[in-house]
């Protein structure tokens, strides 16, 4: 405890130094985050159940939004729940859904969301979620639908392969209804056409993708959109992620030579 008190002023100084550094350079227009490590954090902290761990992770979102607004980052996409997560034990799954619902309902009425004109959206196979979770999603979307200064997107019931599959299916359905021949339909399947049918085609491709908890893989997150993304992996569990960790990630992004295949 004494050590923490002694280090606190140094931490504040270092945080201010990092922020000043980062503000000198270009910041990402879109940051994607894989929010990993909630359960391991809970075990490390001795939390009574996984729902408590997920609640700690949900609380961190408010801080993240502050950090992004401070740096002028206009789009954030959070992977909160994958299609593979449906295979988890029912008790754990119910806890995750309950926390997600509570957070979405809180965002819908949060004065800071409305002051900052944050648009909240969800992408994924939303219809697979429980009806109460879908209702919370739609309530948050409806409450913020007129905003656009910041785009906050929740990837829920989301998988990168599923997104590409659904985009191709939607494209083919559209082309079939247009009366084209099979050969014309085949020729219509282009990267540009598929891109128009992704879950959130209006969003810019993510410049930076951050994954917490030490896992060094995307696990299917935004497979199509991340072709030129920069990746940043950290050992820190998501609920323990700090402002300095976020600033380090953005600074690492600024230090990359982004040539986009050129």
**Cα–Cα nearest to 229, from 210, 251, 255, 203:** 210
DSSP codes of every residue in the chain: -HHHHHHHHHHHHHHHHHHHHHHTS---SEEEEE---HHHHHHHHT-SSHHHHHHHHHHHHHHHHHHHHHHT--EEEEEEEEGGGGGS-HHHHHHHHHHHHHHHHHHHH-HHHHHTTEEEEEES-GGGS-HHHHHHHHHHHHHTTT--SEEEEEEEEE-HHHHHHHHHHHHHHHHHHTT--HHHHHHH--HHHHHTTSSSTTSPPPSEEEE-TT--S-TTTTTTGGGG-EEEE-SS-GGG--HHHHHHHHHHHHHS---TT-
Residue 49 confidence (pLDDT): 86
Residue 259 confidence (pLDDT): 84
And the tokens for 115?
């002051």
Does the active-site annotation cover 85? yes
CA distances from residue 77 to 120, 190, 209 in whole angstroms, order as listed: 10, 25, 9
Residue 258 confidence (pLDDT): 83
In the set 85, 94, 166, 245, the catalytic residue is 85
Contact 63, 138 (CB under 8 A): no
Residue 4 confidence (pLDDT): 64
* Domain 27-159+204-254 fold: Undecaprenyl pyrophosphate synthetase (3.40.1180)
Global pTM value: 0.94
Break the chain into its structural domains and give their ranges: 27-159+204-254
In the set 36, 38, 110, 207, the catalytic residue is 36
Does the active-site annotation cover 149? no
The residues facing 232 across adjacent strands are 210
Residue pLDDT tens, the chain, 262 long: 566 666 678 889 999 999 999 999 999 999 999 999 999 999 999 988 899 999 999 999 999 999 999 999 999 999 999 999 999 999 999 999 999 999 999 999 999 999 999 999 999 999 999 999 999 999 999 999 999 999 999 999 999 999 999 999 999 999 999 989 999 999 999 999 999 999 999 999 999 999 999 999 999 999 999 999 999 999 999 999 999 999 999 999 999 988 887 7
């Amino acid at each position: 405890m004494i050590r923490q008190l002694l280090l606190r002023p140094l931490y504040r100084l270092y945080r201010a130094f990092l922020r000043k550094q980062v503000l000198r350079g270009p910041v990402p227009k879109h940051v994607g985050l894989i929010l990993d490590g909630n359960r391991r954090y809970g075990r490390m902290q001795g939390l009574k159940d996984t729902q408590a761990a997920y609640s700690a992770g949900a609380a961190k979102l408010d801080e993240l939004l502050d950090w992004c607004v401070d740096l002028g980052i206009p789009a954030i996409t959070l992977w909160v729940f994958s299609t593979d997560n449906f295979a988890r034990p029912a008790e754990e799954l119910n806890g995750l859904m309950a926390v997600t619902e509570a957070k979405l309902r809180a965002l819908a009425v949060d004065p800071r969301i409305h002051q900052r004109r944050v648009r909240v959206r969800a992408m994924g196979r939303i219809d697979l979620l429980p009806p109460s979770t879908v209702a919370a999603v739609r309530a948050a979307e409806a409450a913020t639908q007129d905003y656009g200064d910041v785009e906050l997107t929740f990837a829920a019931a989301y998988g990168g392969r599923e997104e590409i599959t659904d985009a191709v299916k939607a494209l083919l359905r559209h082309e079939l209804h247009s009366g084209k021949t099979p050969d014309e339909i085949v020729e219509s399947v282009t990267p540009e056409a598929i891109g128009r049918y992704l879950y959130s085609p209006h969003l810019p491709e993510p410049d930076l993708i951050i994954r917490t908890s030490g896992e060094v893989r995307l696990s299917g997150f935004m497979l199509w959109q991340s072709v030129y993304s920069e990746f940043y992996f950290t050992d820190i569990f998501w609920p323990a992620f700090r402002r300095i960790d976020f600033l380090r990630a953005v600074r690492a992004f600024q230090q990359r030579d982004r040539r986009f295949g050129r």
